[in-house]
Amino acid sequence: NSLFQGMELKASELLQGDGADAIKDAAGDLETIQEKDATSRDSFTERINEKKKRDEKLRKLKIGAAAVIGGTLVAVTGGLAAPAIGAGLATVGGSVGLGTVTAGLGGFLGTAGGVAFATTVFGATGAGLNGYKMSRRIGKKLNEFWFE
Angle (CA) 140 142 143, round 5°: 125
> Which whole number is the average pLDDT over 99-119?
76
With helix as H, strand as E and coil as C, how does the chain read? Answer: CHHHHHHHHHHHHHHHCCHHHHHHHHHHHHHHHHHHHHHHHHHHHHHHHHHHHHHHHHHHHHHHHHHHHHHHHHHHHHHHHHHHHHHHHHHHHHHHCCHHHHHHHHHHHCCHHHHHHHHHHHHHHHHHHHHHHHHHHHHCCCCCCCCC
| Distance in Å from the first CA to the final CA of the chain | 48
CA 71 to chain centre: 19
pLDDT, tens digit, 9 for 90 and up, residues 15-54: 555 555 656 666 677 777 777 777 777 777 888 888 888 9
Give percent above pLDDT 70 in the chain. 66
pLDDT, tens digit, 9 for 90 and up, residues 61-103: 888 888 889 888 888 888 787 777 777 777 776 666 666 667 7
